[in-house]
Amino acid sequence: MRVITGTARGRNLLTLEGEEVRPTAQRIKEAIFSAIQFEVEGRRVLDLFAGSGQLGIEALSRGAHCATFVDQNKSSIDVIGQNLKSTQLDKNTIVKNLDAMSFLATTKDVFDIAFLDPPYNRDFIEKALQLLCKNMAKGGVIICETPFSEDLPQSVGDFSVFKEYKYGKVKITIYRENEASE
């Protein structure tokens, strides 16, 4: 796994090993960033259920202003720290060793782009979406990675499904703010 483009292009990223770990495949990461390629620079990013931090790191490499990484697994937090240091993207970052729902329930931070890639089949995403909406900036975008078979709500808060992409057993769902609320 490596950074696709930007200031850290080509840098390898560490990841955890094991059954519970499911890093975003390179082709899926490419598709995500193709969909938002002109929206990353200067933005505030949230990488929730961050794992290795690869989505937030990719955003930073592409010019995001800052990124917050949240994961409840201490080993993941250590890997994120190592990846940020090795890519030299550790400035303007916050790394939180917290449960995602606790973070969302208490943070006052506002984000332009949020990546949600929770453990599959654990019913985290719908609750996270409901909590996250209050922390999204006007014109923000929420990107969710789920199993192909998982149904997500068509709308949550002021956000609605803008587009869905299917890659084998994986589905990427992009939420954007409803036009009436802008």
126-138 pLDDT tens trace: 999 999 999 999 9
Distance between CA atoms of residues 177 and 157, nearest Å: 9
- Share above pLDDT 70 across residues of the chain, in percent, rounded to a whole number: 95
Residue 147's contacts (CB-CB under 8 Å, 6 or more residues apart) are 120, 121, 169, 170, 171
- Among 3.40.50.970, 2.60.40.10, 1.10.10.10, 3.40.50.150, what is the CATH number of 26-181? 3.40.50.150
Q: Is pLDDT of 180 > 60?
A: no
User: Which residue is it, tokens 């975003």?
Assistant: 24
Per-residue pLDDT, 182: 46
User: What pLDDT band is residue 64 in, cutting at 50, 70 and 90?
Assistant: very high
Q: Give the pLDDT mean for 53-62.
A: 97
User: What pLDDT band is residue 16 in, cutting at 50, 70 and 90?
Assistant: confident
pTM: 0.94
Using DSSP's 3-state secondary structure scheme, residue 108 falls into coil
Q: For the chain, give the longest Cα–Cα distance.
A: 44
Per-residue pLDDT, 124: 87
82-105 per-position pLDDT tens digit: 999 999 999 999 999 999 999 999
Per-residue pLDDT, 9: 94
Per-residue pLDDT, 20: 59
Average pLDDT, the chain: 92
Distance between CA atoms of residues 125 and 98, nearest Å: 16
Q: Give the pLDDT mean for 135-147.
A: 95
User: Which residue is it, tokens 């970052």?
Assistant: 93
